[in-house]
Amino acid sequence: MRQIFLDTETTGLSPEAGDRVIEIGCVEMVNRRLTGQTRHYYLNPERSSSPEALEVHGLTDEFLADKPKFAEIADDFLAWLQGAEVIIHNAAFDLNFLNHELKRLGREPFSRHVPAVTDSLLMARDMFPGKRNSLDALCSRLEVDNSNRTLHGALLDAGLLAEVFIRMTRGQDSLVIDQGHGHAQALGEQRAATQDLARLAVLLVQPDDHELAEHERVLAELDKASGNKTVWRELVS
């Protein structure tokens, strides 16, 4: 299963008013593991960013002046996405911009170029109703380290989204690229599955008087803290 995590940065909030895409970041995952393959484009939008947008992404007109236009990277971008499910946080926003960029070139909408688009924001709202579900909020809630995120960056955010997505879908706690580690883990699981446990000798350790007394002291403290509601002594008797 091939999945692409995608994020964009833009000159403002409204492609209908002429705002453009200035950055695209993509991170590839295959079978729920990062491959290390990415696509990252800075784009010349042929217009200035709004002051509010510039505060978010920090990409100045001077920095973007010599970057390619969307038309120059469109074929490479779309070809790399072929056959992949694309995951976007707040997909409606990014898709609106990408569709406007494609329309300028006389191309079909974004969803026609990929098998599926998944909105991780809608997933988060289902999982955490009534809570903040921005990417930053999800990183905090799911213990994903975003300490390097001082400004929004498309490639950085795509990587954070991949980590958040894995934790939301509970497949694993973190992303692993090292194939050697995965092979060793699988080998260990195989050996564990074929081990004849009936042949193992169980070692019984008898507590001494001091350990028994300490155990009784801890049980008494638990009994007192619970208001004498513990049941283990009844079960033992």
pLDDT digits (tens), the chain, 237 positions: 999 999 999 999 999 999 999 999 999 999 999 999 999 999 999 999 999 999 999 999 999 999 999 999 999 999 999 999 999 999 999 999 999 999 999 999 999 999 999 999 999 999 999 999 999 999 999 999 998 877 789 999 999 999 999 999 975 445 554 444 444 444 444 444 455 555 556 566 778 888 788 778 777 777 666 667 666 656 555
Contact 68, 43 (CB under 8 A): yes
Separation CA 48–CA 20 (nearest Å): 9
Contact 9, 153 (CB under 8 A): yes
pLDDT at 60: 97
Q: Could you tell me if residue 90 is inside a domain?
A: yes
pTM assigned to the model: 0.72
CATH code of residue 42:
3.30.420.10
Cβ count within 10 A of residue 51: 8
Q: Could you tell me if residue 222 is inside a domain?
A: yes
173 shares its domain with 206: no
213 shares its domain with 161: no
pLDDT at 206: 76
Q: Range of 110's domain? A: 2-177
Q: Could you tell me if residue 159 is inside a domain?
A: yes
47 shares its domain with 129: yes
Q: Domain total for the chain? A: 2
102 shares its domain with 217: no
pLDDT at 111: 97
Contacts 24+ apart (CB under 8 A), 170-178: 171/32, 172/32, 175/29, 175/33, 175/34, 176/33, 176/34, 177/33, 177/34, 177/35, 177/36
Q: Could you tell me if residue 188 is inside a domain?
A: no
Residue in 40, 100, 152, 181 annotated catalytic: 152
225 shares its domain with 171: no
Separation CA 175–CA 155 (nearest Å): 16
Q: Which of 145, 177, 209 is the last residue of a domain?
A: 177
Per the annotation, the verdict on 152 as an active-site residue is: yes
Q: Could you tell me if residue 107 is inside a domain?
A: yes
pLDDT at 178: 47
Q: Could you tell me if residue 189 is inside a domain?
A: no
pLDDT at 179: 46
Q: Is 28 exposed, middle or buried (0-12, 13-18, 19+ CB in 10 A)?
A: buried
Separation CA 210–CA 71 (nearest Å): 78
Q: Could you tell me if residue 195 is inside a domain?
A: no
30 shares its domain with 144: yes
166 shares its domain with 217: no
6 shares its domain with 97: yes
112 shares its domain with 219: no
Contact 34, 2 (CB under 8 A): no
Separation CA 138–CA 158 (nearest Å): 13
170 shares its domain with 227: no
216 shares its domain with 108: no
Q: Is 114 exposed, middle or buried (0-12, 13-18, 19+ CB in 10 A)?
A: middle
226 shares its domain with 172: no
